[in-house]
Amino acid sequence: MELFNNTGKVAIVTGGGSGIGKTAAEALSESGATVAIIGRTLEKIEMAAAEIQDKTGNSVKGYQGDVTKSEDIQRFVATIYEDLGQIDILVNNAGTLAPGLIDSLDEAGWDHVMNTNAKSIFFTTQAVVPYMKEQNYGRIINTASVAGEVSLSFSSVYGTSKAAAIHQTKQLSLELAPYNITVNAISPWFFKTEMNESDLEDENFRTAVENRSPMKRLGQLDELKSSYLFFASPASSYVSGQNIFVDGGMTVYGL
C-alpha cells in the first residue's frame, strides 16, 4: 500500500468544493496528502475543506479562484506554494455544462464551457509546472468525460471541451515526461452531482442514462476514488498520457 501513499505531498484540486472534485480531494487527503481545493465562492470552498479535513484528519485548505482567468490562476498557485512549500499533484477538475445544440447555443455559452473545461487545464498546468520541474516530480490528472469520446444528444460544446481535455492530456504528457511529471485523465459517465442533480430527477432522463451502461445504473462517487489515487500516487510512475473511462462499460456498449 506504500505505492498509494501520498504522505508529505501537496495536492491542488480545482472545482474541489463539490461533486467529483470533492471526491478526488477526499481520496487524496485519505492517502496522506495535504490538499488545497479551489473554487469561485470562498465560503463554500472553506466549508468543503473543513468537512474533508474533519473526515480524514489531514490538512485541507480552501482557496478562492477563477480558473477561467490566467492571472487569477497564477495568483492562487503562487499563494498555495507560499503557504504549503511545494506542489506535487494537480487535479484539473473544474467543469461546467451548457445544454444546447448547433442552432441554439450562443457565443457566451460556448466560451464559458470551453474556458472552464479546456482553457483552465492549460493555464493551471502552466502555473504549476515550474514548481514540479524544480523538484523533478509531478502528477497531473485531468477530469475529462466519456463525452470526449462519444457524442451527446443535448450539448454541442461539452463533448468538444472534454475532447480538448483528453488531447491536452496526451500533448502535455509528451512535453513534461523528461521532468518526471506524468499527465493522465479520468473520463466518468454519469455520477450524481450538484451539476446534474436536477436533470436526473427526470425519471425518463435518468432511465435513459442508466440504460446506456451495461451495468444499468449510475456511478457512485466513491467508485472514482481509486482512479484518482492511482494516477496521483507513486503506483503510476510509468503511466502517462492515458485516459481511464469510469463508465460502467458505457463507451463499449453497442446495441
Task: Report the C-alpha gap between 181 and 172 in whole angstroms.
Answer: 9
Residue in 137, 158, 179, 253 annotated catalytic? 158
Task: Report the C-alpha gap between 33 and 14 in whole angstroms.
Answer: 15
Of the candidates 80, 83, 89, the one whose C-alpha atom is nearest the C-alpha of residue 135 is: 89
Task: Report the C-alpha gap between 61 and 12 in whole angstroms.
Answer: 10
Q: Is 158 a catalytic residue?
A: yes
Of the candidates 150, 144, 145, 143, the one whose C-alpha atom is nearest the C-alpha of residue 252 is: 150
Of the candidates 204, 201, 206, 202, the one whose C-alpha atom is nearest the C-alpha of residue 217 is: 206
Q: Which residues contact 24 (CB under 8 A, 6 or more apart)?
A: 13, 16, 91, 93, 141, 143, 224, 225, 228
Tell me which residues are annotated as active site: 158
